Structure 1
Amino acid sequence: MEPYLTIVFRTIIFYILILIIFRMMGKREIGELSILDLVVFIMIGELAVVAIERPNVRVLHAIVPMVLLMFIQIIMAIISLKSKRFRDLVDGKPSIIINRGKIDEVAMRKQRYNFDDLMTQLREKDIRSIADVEFAILESSGSLSVIEKLKNSNEVPKQGDITIPLIIDGSIEEENLKRINKTNLWLRQELKKKGYRDVKKISFCSYENGKFFIDLQDE
């Protein structure tokens, strides 16, 4: 009877501990978990399972690495908030799979993403035809964000635009500039016209339909 009581006691302890750890690590939907999040969650779960199944393993020997993983994850999250480069390294970058109605096969190959994957995820979003899609973005979490073509009163699809981040955390996104056929010099000149001379003071700058959205960093 005693071994069963030990298992029950440990199950309750680690259940509460895991709830506390996940709460402290922040709220994230399952579909939004990065690879790093998933690895940490699996490791914490495995440590708890081993401690529950093996009564000879001291509880403290499982709790210490679980708490350590929690602090590592929190530190990594803080660094990710402050560094766009680190965030891209850990979480990866979103990839535009369909750009203005045209499928980008090069981007698909880079992500090892095939047409079956594309069609499956489009069907899940009730998209019947690729012809109805203006933009499809494969997020770093693996989910597909879809922007359908705009429709006028006669239900005829027409081209829209997508928000293009040009500056994130004071750093210019050169790849996004290339996507809209603009240069670093063009961006700086446009910002100067609007009174923004120091790029590093800009937290976020996007470009959509010929208009800028600019948000300065907190001072």
Structure 2
Amino acid sequence: MWFDTWKDIVRVLLITLASYSAIIVILRISGKRSLSKLNAFDFVVTIALGSILASVILTKSVSLSEGVAAFFGLAALQWLVTALSNKSDTFAKALRSEPKLLLKDGRFQDEALANERVTRDEVEAAIRKKGHGHVDEIAAVVLESDGEMSVICGGEASDCTALRSVLKPGETSL
């Protein structure tokens, strides 16, 4: 079917404008975390928001007010989960993946690479992207909770305070 009526086209355009405006306002209210790099929960919320937006725009049986209520519901859930994560380390660990040390003092951590399904080539690419050419000069590469790789240069990993959460007890001199 190529075309039904102009009324349907106008409805889609008006609902698109209204729902787009509503989601922008809701995301602004819910804070920067809603727009941050995605962990698994943020990814699910983003997909759900997109699905609701599409349903509101294209499905006549879903009203704008129902869509806005769903947007607010997801934003509230995200706020609640974030608040609980900030108050409870156990809840935060259950929700988010922990950062993993992939390279320490110029040596690849093969078990961590295998567990995280990351190749040496990918780690080396992250090192190059940070402007470094020698793996043996890198103190650490960490696969962060959002999937990005952090590259720490110079010195030994055990001397880096930023690595305390990814080093095993006894591996840090701090």
Same fold (TM over 0.5): yes
What is the aligned partner in structure 2 of residue 10 from structure 1? Answer: 15
- The structure that is helix-richer by fraction is 2
**Which of 165, 169, 172 is residue 177 of structure 1 equivalent to?**
169
RMSD of aligned C-alpha atoms? 2.4
Q: Identity of counterpart residues, as a percentage? A: 23
CA separation of 1:60 and 1:77: change in aligned 2, threshold 3 A: same
CA contact (8 A) 2:19 2:67 kept: no
Tell me which moved more, 115-124 or 45-54. Answer: 115-124
Matched, 1:91 2:107: no
Cα distance in 2 for partners of 1:165, 1:128 equals 22
What is the aligned partner in structure 2 of residue 71 from structure 1? Answer: 76
Cα distance in 2 for partners of 1:87, 1:115 equals 29
**Runs of 5+ in structure 2 lacking a partner?**
1-5
Q: Shift of the alpha carbon at 1:129?
A: 2.5
CA separation of 1:89 and 1:178: change in aligned 2, threshold 3 A: farther
Cα distance in 2 for partners of 1:140, 1:57 equals 35
**Runs of 5+ in structure 1 lacking a partner?**
151-158, 167-172, 181-208, 211-219
Post-superposition CA distance 1:102-141 (Å, at most 9, x none): 2111111121212232122222222222122111111000
Amino acid at match of 1:125: K
Tell me which moved more, 60-69 or 25-34. Answer: 25-34
Q: Shift of the alpha carbon at 1:28?
A: 3.6
TM-score (norm 1): 0.68
What is the aligned partner in structure 1 of residue 27 from structure 2? Answer: 22
CA contact (8 A) 1:135 1:162 kept: no
Matched, 1:104 2:102: no
Cα distance in 2 for partners of 1:57, 1:99 equals 53
Q: How many matched pairs?
A: 168
Query: Partner of 2:133: helix, strand, or coil?
Result: coil
**Which of 33, 50, 59 is residue 38 of structure 2 equivalent to?**
33
Post-superposition CA distance 1:43-90 (Å, at most 9, x none): 111111121122343223322222211111110000001111211211
Query: Partner of 1:135: helix, strand, or coil?
Result: strand
CA contact (8 A) 2:139 2:152 kept: yes
CA contact (8 A) 2:102 2:143 kept: yes
- Map of 1:20-169 to 2, 5 A cutoff? 20-28=25-33, 32-150=37-155, 159=156, 161-163=159-161
Query: Partner of 1:147: helix, strand, or coil?
Result: strand
Q: Shift of the alpha carbon at 1:164?
A: 5.4
- The structure that is strand-richer by fraction is 1
Cα distance in 1 for partners of 2:163, 2:88 equals 16
Post-superposition CA distance 1:141-191 (Å, at most 9, x none): 0001111125xxxxxxxx46211576xxxxxx79742433xxxxxxxxxxx
Cα distance in 2 for partners of 1:41, 1:66 equals 10
